[in-house]
Amino acid sequence: MNIQTKPKTLITSEADVTPFVLAAMENTDNARLKEIVTSLVTHLHAFVREARPTEEEFEQGMHILNSIGQATNDGHNEAVLYADILGVSTLIDLINNDGMQGETMSALLGPFYRGEAPECASGDSIVRCETPGDRLVLKGRVVSTDGSPIAGATLDVWQASPDGLYENQDPGQADHNLRGKFTTREDGTYEIVSVKPAGYPIPMDTPAGDLIRAQNRTPMRPAHVHFIVSAPGCKTLVTQIFSDTEEALLNDVVFGAKRQIAGDLVRLEDGSYTCEYDFVLKPGVPSFPEPPIKGKVG
C-alpha cells in the first residue's frame, strides 16, 4: 500500500486548493481511476471558480444531489434521468458509438427497457391489448457494414403506447404490450406490426422535473420506437427510430434524436403506416444492457 506524501505547505488561499487536493490523490494505484478523478477534480474546481456559488447555493446543490438519490428506487433511476436531461448520457453515447464505420447510430436505452420480451415471428403484432394509434408496419433488413444481410439477427423492440405510457408504467396495459423480440429471416429482413408512436413527457415529479420547469423546457420526447439489434460477431446496437416534426426532434428533452435515425413513415390509403429502415451493424462483440430498473416503474 502506498503512503500518501504530505504536501509541503498548508492551504492559504483559493488558488492552493486544487493542487493540494490533486497531490493528496497522487498515490492512487488504479491508473484509470486516477485519470478520471484527477480530471473530475480539475474540472469541478474550475466550474466552482467560474460559477462562484454562494454558501446557500452550495447547500441547495447538495440538497439536489441528495434528492436525486432519494428519488431512486427499484422502479425509478433518477441519476440516469438527470444525466439524460443534462445531455451527459448522449455525450457518453456518442463518445462510445461514433457511427464512423457506417453503422446505424445509437441512441439512449432509456429507463423503460425490460428484458425478456416475448419471442415473435416475422410479421407478428406487438399490440397485445386495446391500444390507441394507427397501425404501423416496421420493416427492413439488418445488414453488416459491408452490406451483406445478417440472417438470425435479433431485434428487441419496445415503445410507449400513443397515450404516453410504457406498459410497465401503466397497469391498464397488458403485460409486454408493445414489446417483442424478432429474428431476421435468411435474407436479413424483419417485419413488425405495431402502432404509430407518439411523443410523451418524461416523469416530471422528481428533481429532473424541477430543473426542466425552472429552465422553461419542454418535458417531451419526440415519437420513437426503441430497438436493441444484435447478432453474433457484431457490436450490439441500442437505438431508437424517430418519427416526429422537426421542432419535436430539435427539442428532445434528452437530446437523443439524430437525423440518421429519423424514420420515414409513409401513410397508406387505408390510413395505416409503413416505415422501412435498414439497421447496419459493425463487427464487434455482442453485449446486452441490464434493464435500468428492476421492478415496476415507480
Selected from 68, 71, 108, 198, the binder of ligand BEZ by CB under 6 A is 108
Q: Can you say how many angstroms the Cα of residue 193 is from the centroid of all Cα atoms in its chain?
A: 24
Binding span for ligand BEZ by CB under 6 A among 69-77, 107-115, 125-133, 170-178: 107-115
Q: How far is the C-alpha of 79 from the C-alpha of 291, rounded, in Å?
A: 15
Q: Judge contact between 226 and 247, C-beta under 8 A.
A: no
227 contacts ligand BEZ (rule: CB under 6 A): no
- Min dist. Cβ of residue 20 to ligand BEZ (A): 39
188 contacts ligand BEZ (rule: CB under 6 A): no
176 contacts ligand BEZ (rule: CB under 6 A): no
263 contacts ligand BEZ (rule: CB under 6 A): no
- Min dist. Cβ of residue 225 to Fe ion (A): 8
Q: How far is the C-alpha of 251 from the C-alpha of 87, rounded, in Å?
A: 12
Q: Per-residue b/e over 177-194, b at no fewer than 16 CB within 10 Å?
A: bbbbbbbbbeebebbbbb
The closest of 32, 49, 175 to 114, measured between CA atoms, is 175
Selected from 202, 238, 248, 275, the binder of ligand BEZ by CB under 6 A is 202
Q: How far is the C-alpha of 263 from the C-alpha of 191, rounded, in Å?
A: 15
**Could you give the 3-state DSSP secondary structure of residue 92?**
helix
Selected from 68, 81, 142, 231, the binder of ligand BEZ by CB under 6 A is 81
273 binds, among ligand BEZ, Fe ion, none (CB under 5 to 8 A by kind): none
256 contacts Fe ion (rule: CB under 5 A): no
110 contacts Fe ion (rule: CB under 5 A): yes
Beta bridge partners of 276: 139
Residues of this chain that bind Fe ion (CB under 5 A): 110
Residues of this chain that bind ligand BEZ (CB under 6 A): 81, 84, 108, 110-112, 202, 221, 254
